[in-house]
Amino acid sequence: MGENAEMTEIQEAGLSLERGVLVRGIGGFYTIRDDNHREYTVRCKKKFRREKISPMVGDEVLFSSGQGEEHGWIEEILPRKTECLRPPVANVTRLVIVIAPVPKPDMILVDRQISRAYNQGMDVLLVVTKYDLDPELPGQIENEYRTAGIPVISVSARDGTGLEILKKALADGKLSCFTGQSGAGKSTLLNALLGLELETGDISRKIERGKNTTRHTELIEKNGIRVMDTAGFNLLEAEKELDPAYLKERYPEFEPYEGKCRFDECLHDREPGCAVQEAADKGEISMERLKRYRILLAEAREIWRERYD
């Protein structure tokens, strides 16, 4: 109702609004792409700041395109299907976590991102890249995530391994977001996949400068694929707001054992008679994942205590 009333107001003011998706935002200017792949540079109305909403890459918006030299404005941000703060993106329906042998993968970070993706109702795809450097890593990752039902695709931007398989997996209409550590090879992989010229950088230089090569999120639409490139992580950084009691629900591989632990309230954190622990002991689920789950659980409990006790 409120939205409709506002729409009419805007229409009565004689503005004709167009619809598009926010593909980039730099220095207070946003680039909107319409259905015909035309791009417009616009600014954002102050009312959003008052409402504490900031436009994010991936947002579907209604905008005025501006005239001549005058830039247009974002007038409305349409309701978001999903929302992520790190990286700040909207409407992503598949999180693609890129893992490489170098820099050494931080699997806690990976599990944290998986948990957050599930929390938003996103799909997860693990992409293990730089196959040319280490053909063993994909198998290890696959072992850890098989019982969670999380698909793993192994690729190399260098020699082309797996690129066709990945392309096919991405071309299903979902909005994918590439994330992962800085230097994992996200931009290089997107260049190889889609024939782009995104900036890429040497790992040693990244570490020296402590900086990402990719600094701005970018939404790319090409060959039926909709995908975002984002700046990678350098540190363990995340939103740690999860309720500890719900963390286990983000682990699909625990599901078959729910209700089978001695205690109804079992959080699978070394309680006696824990069916999840037994499953890990028998190798039915990944012990590594369970260990990392307990680290994230301790973290969630800590945050919970700080906030509510």
Binding site for ligand GTP (CB under 6 A): 129-130, 132-133, 156-158, 182-188, 200-203, 206, 212-214, 231-232
Residue 232 or 244 having the CB closest to ligand GTP: 232
Which residue is it, tokens 């409305």? 76
279 binds Zn ion (CB under 5 A): no
Q: Which of 247, 261, 279, 297 binds Zn ion (CB under 5 A)?
A: 261
185 binds, among ligand GTP, Mg ion, Zn ion, none (CB under 5 to 8 A by kind): ligand GTP
10-15 long-range contacts, CB within 8 A, separation 24+:
10/75, 15/64, 15/75
CB of 183 to Mg ion, least distance (A): 8
| Interacting partner of 133 out of ligand GTP, Zn ion, Mg ion, none (Cβ under 5 to 8 A depending on kind) | ligand GTP
Out of 99, 276, 290, 296, the only residue in the binding site for Zn ion (CB under 5 A) is 276
31 binds, among Zn ion, Mg ion, ligand GTP, none (CB under 5 to 8 A by kind): none
Using CB under 5 A as the binding rule, the residues of this chain from 111 to 140 that contact Zn ion are none
Q: Which residues bind Mg ion (CB under 5 A)?
A: 186-187, 213-214
Q: Which of 268, 280, 286, 296 binds Zn ion (CB under 5 A)?
A: 268
Cβ distance to Mg ion smaller for residue 129 or 187: 187
Q: How far is the CB of 141 from Mg ion (least distance, A)?
A: 21
Strand partners, 61: 20, 77
**Cβ closer to ligand GTP: 133 or 245?**
133
Q: How far is the CB of 208 from ligand GTP (least distance, A)?
A: 13
**Piece of the chain touching Zn ion by CB under 5 A; list 125-133, 254-262, 287-295, 301-309:** 254-262
Of these partners, Zn ion, Mg ion, ligand GTP, none, which one is at the site of residue 261 (CB under 5 to 8 Å by kind)? Zn ion
What distance in Å separates the CA atoms of residue 231 and residue 129, rounded to the nearest whole number? 17
Of these partners, ligand GTP, Mg ion, Zn ion, none, which one is at the site of residue 158 (CB under 5 to 8 Å by kind)? Answer: ligand GTP
Interaction mask 210-249, Zn ion, x per CB under 5 A: ----------------------------------------
Question: Does 152 engage in binding with Zn ion (CB under 5 A)?
Answer: no
In 3D, which of 179, 169, 163 has the Cα closest to residue 58? Answer: 179
Smallest gap from Cβ 211 to ligand GTP, in A, equals: 8
**136 CB neighbour count, 10 Å cutoff:** 9
221 binds, options Mg ion, Zn ion, ligand GTP, none, Cβ within 5 to 8 A by partner type: none
Per residue, the 3-state secondary structure of the chain, as one string, reads CHHHHHHHHHHHCCCCCEEEEEEEEECCEEEEECCCCCEEEEEECHHHHHCCCCCCECCEEEEECCCCCCCEEEEEECCCCCEECCCCEECCCEEEEEECCCCCCCHHHHHHHHHHHHHCCCEEEEEECCCCCCCCHHHHHHHHHCCCCCCEEECCCCCCCCHHHHHHHHCCCCEEEEEEECCCCHHHHHHHHHCCCCCCCCHHHHHHHCCCCCCCCEEEEECCEEEEECCCECCCCCCCCCCHHHHHHHCHHHHHHCCCCCCCCCCCCCCCCCHHHHHHHCCCCCHHHHHHHHHHHHHHHHHHHHHHC
Catalog residues that contact Zn ion under the rule CB under 5 A. Answer: 261, 266, 268, 274, 276
